[in-house]
Amino acid sequence: MNQAALNLISITIFVLTMTSLLGPLLHISAAVPAIAVAGIMGIATLDTFNWRGRGSTLLLDWVARFSPDHRARVVRHEAGHFLVAHQLGIPITGYTLSAWEALRQGQAGAAGVSFDTAELTANLAKGTLSAQQVDRYCTVWMAGIAAETLAYGNAEGGSDDRQQLYTLWASFNRSATEASLKERLATLQAKTLLQANQPAYDALVAVMERKAPLAECYEALGELSGV
């Protein structure tokens, strides 16, 4: 079960437990919280296995949208992916800043920057993925975490990014220890790129906050080619 669903279940059970404790004072039957917990856990399980956690992701994303800090983190996180991908020559096909935007665009999961991964997929299938390509994609995946850490001292997002890196390394039959080392190195490389291009990154954050079109994002980086 994914973390979003687990968080939703934990919060719901806490609220319903408090309701059951206060039920006698509020004249609420003790059976009501029990039935509600069973129903919600059933829905969460269905969401996880049939909808791949999208329902809980959308709900938690909607709740988090009321937090200015969360919205700022999301923009900085995705701008990190965008700038580093641009610097490393990986084509960007779009971006979203919420799970709802991703759903409207027919994408799975939460907010994110979309890349043209045709080259990565083709070379993986042929077994010809070079060490340079691995470095580039790992650095891009870790760039969101790097951007958050530079701005806030820690990262709240990035679990899907880590999963992509670990899945790639698992496909090479490499150990989790090696994947962890690669994660740290890729995060450091991403931080270096972000710090070296701070003015461009700040400009990109500003336009992405307005949900500007892709062309304006490239323009903020001083580059319109490839759009």
Residue 227 located in a structural domain: no
Helix (H) or strand (E) holding 114: strand 112-115
127 and 33 both lie in a single domain: no
Judge whether 225 lies within some domain: no
Both 146 and 198 in a single domain?
Answer: yes
For 211-226, b/e burial (b = at least 16 CB within 10 A) is eeeeebbbbbbeeeee
pLDDT tens digits along 154-207: 998 888 899 999 999 998 888 989 999 999 999 999 999 999 999 999 999 999
Do 97 and 58 fall into the same domain?
A: no
Final residue belonging to a domain, choices 64, 81, 108: 64
43 in the same domain as 155: no
DSSP characters over 15-84: HHHHHHHHHHHHT--THHHHHHHHHHHHHHHHHHHHSTTHHHHHHHHHHHTT-HHHHHHHHHHHHHHHHH
Whichever domain contains 183, its CATH number is 1.20.58.760
- Is the pLDDT at 1 greater than 50, yes or no? no
User: Residue 16: what pLDDT?
Assistant: 60
Q: Do 121 and 208 belong together in one domain?
A: yes
Give 15-51 pLDDT, tens digit per residue: 666 666 665 665 556 565 556 555 555 555 544 444 4
* Whether residue 122 sits in one domain with residue 57: no
The pLDDT value recorded for residue 4 is 47
Q: Both 84 and 133 in a single domain?
A: yes
User: pLDDT digits over 113-160, tens only?
Assistant: 988 888 888 888 888 889 899 999 999 999 999 999 999 999 988 888
- What does the pLDDT look like over 215-225, one tens digit per residue? 999 999 985 44
pTM over 0.85: no
Do 149 and 206 belong to one domain? Answer: yes
Q: Quick check: 57 pLDDT over 70?
A: no
Instruction: Based on the fold, state whether residues 78 and 143 are members of the same structural domain.
Output: yes
- Answer whether residue 196 is part of any domain: yes
Which of 44, 64, 84 is at the close of a domain? Answer: 64
Q: What is d(CA 196, CA 193) in angstroms, rounded to the nearest whole number?
A: 5
Among 64, 88, 109, which residue terminates a domain? 64
Determine the structural domain holding residue 163 and report its residue range: 68-220
Question: Cβ distance 92 to 115 under 8 Å?
Answer: yes
Whether residues 83 and 155 share a domain: the answer is yes
